[in-house]
Amino acid sequence: MTRRSRQRPLTLWIAPLALAALFLVSLSVGASRPAGSLGFDRDSLHLLFASRLPRTLAAMLSGAGLAIAGLIMQSVARNRFVEPATAGTAQSAALGILLVTLFHPAASLAVKTASAAATALAGTTVFMMTAHRLPPEQPYLVPLFGLVYGGVIGAGVTFVAWQADLLQYVEIWTNGEFSGVLRGRYELLWIAVPMVAIAWWAADRLTILSLGRDASIGLGISYERMLQLGLVIVSVITALTVSVAGMIPFVGLVVPNLAARLLGDNIRASIAWVAIAGAALVLGCDVIGRLLRYPYEIPVGTVMGVAGACLFLILLFGRARDA
């Protein structure tokens, strides 16, 4: 056993330990009391169960779901540099919410989420159809196309919102934050749990899917069916997160890449660790956003954008150094 393989189990346990610590910290951080304090009087318990616990669970569910969505998207796209926020999926989900708001302003959050999932699935399908036509020997073309594609959809959403005087409303869905999460407003995120369970059930076939159409068919996998399943999982998870918390970048990009460096490309072996690491990363960024300008808050999307960009640059330089 090499020194690197002996160190790997220790490295893997950092994520669940960090998640447990962040869970406790998140419950004790808030603007109504000094940071780090949480009493046990009636008002404090009401605050805990009505606001802080739902917010903590929402951050964990969003992070775990987005990390798994990124893992699946990278598998079906056969590219390590894509994720829902850079492939038009999140922007398409925001478009679905905007359309429902325009034509049915009184729609419930569940209806908006269903519309977001439908448009996210359509937008991701278009992205995948185009990405598979790009030359595989130039992997950077896929994320470059995704950025342009997502930018075009996002610009369309902004233009329509501007025409309808809904720009402030759209900002809720385009800039991720958990400050408005309360009991009764985050429960739809639990739908991500069965989506992750389905991904775990199909993990081996999704791993084979990353080998390409010919290899998948040769190994007895229904390529089209598994591709559709992967796209549905990615779209539903992304729509849930955008509907409840807004767009949170980089989670689905950096977490699966970090897991791949430690565990390889086996989805079944890495899916639990990816979910835990994604939950810890988003919850950690949310806690940092609450503490940096206490008692004011910085949106988790802003903190995650900075932290995710730094982690991604580290991954790129590490990949170049290994090569």
Q: For position 31, what pLDDT does the model report? A: 56
Q: For position 137, what pLDDT does the model report? A: 74
Token duo for residue 315: 């991954």
Q: Is 228 exposed, middle or buried (0-12, 13-18, 19+ CB in 10 A)?
A: middle
Residue recorded with tokens 């689905």: 252
**H/E segment holding residue 129:** helix 109-131
Q: For position 1, what pLDDT does the model report? A: 44
Q: Using CA atoms, how far apart are residues 303 and 286, in angstroms rounded to an integer?
A: 8
Q: Using CA atoms, how far apart are residues 72 and 82, in angstroms rounded to an integer?
A: 10
Q: For position 3, what pLDDT does the model report? A: 47
What's the mean per-residue pLDDT of the chain?
Answer: 85
Q: Is the pLDDT of residue 100 over 50?
A: yes
Question: ∠ CA(80), CA(86), CA(89), 5° rounding?
Answer: 110
Q: Is the pLDDT of residue 161 over 50?
A: yes
Across the range 60-86, mean pLDDT stands at 91
Residue recorded with tokens 């309360």: 182
Per-residue model confidence as pLDDT tens digits over 240-283? 999 888 899 899 999 999 888 888 888 888 899 999 999 999 99
Percent of the chain residues past pLDDT 90, beyond the cut: 37
Task: Return the amino acid letter for 320.
Answer: A
Q: Using CA atoms, how far apart are residues 94 and 239, in angstroms rounded to an integer?
A: 8
**DSSP codes, 276-315:** HHHHHHHHHHHHHHHHHTTTS---HHHHHHHHHHHHHHHH
Q: Using CA atoms, how far apart are residues 62 and 243, in angstroms rounded to an integer?
A: 11
Token duo for residue 26: 């998140």
Using DSSP, state whether 159 is helix, strand or coil. Answer: helix
Q: Which residues contact 236 (CB under 8 A, 6 or more apart)?
A: 117, 120, 191, 192, 195
Q: Is the pLDDT of residue 120 over 90?
A: yes
Please state which architecture CATH assigns to domain 51-322. Orthogonal Bundle (1.10)
Across the range 200-205, mean pLDDT stands at 90
Across the range 54-74, mean pLDDT stands at 94
- Residue 61: closest CA among 207, 276, 299, 236: 276
Domain ranges in the chain are 51-322
Give residue 221's pLDDT band: very low, low, confident or very high (50, 70, 90).
Answer: confident
What are the φ/ψ torsions at residue 297 (nearest 5 degrees)? Answer: -125, 150
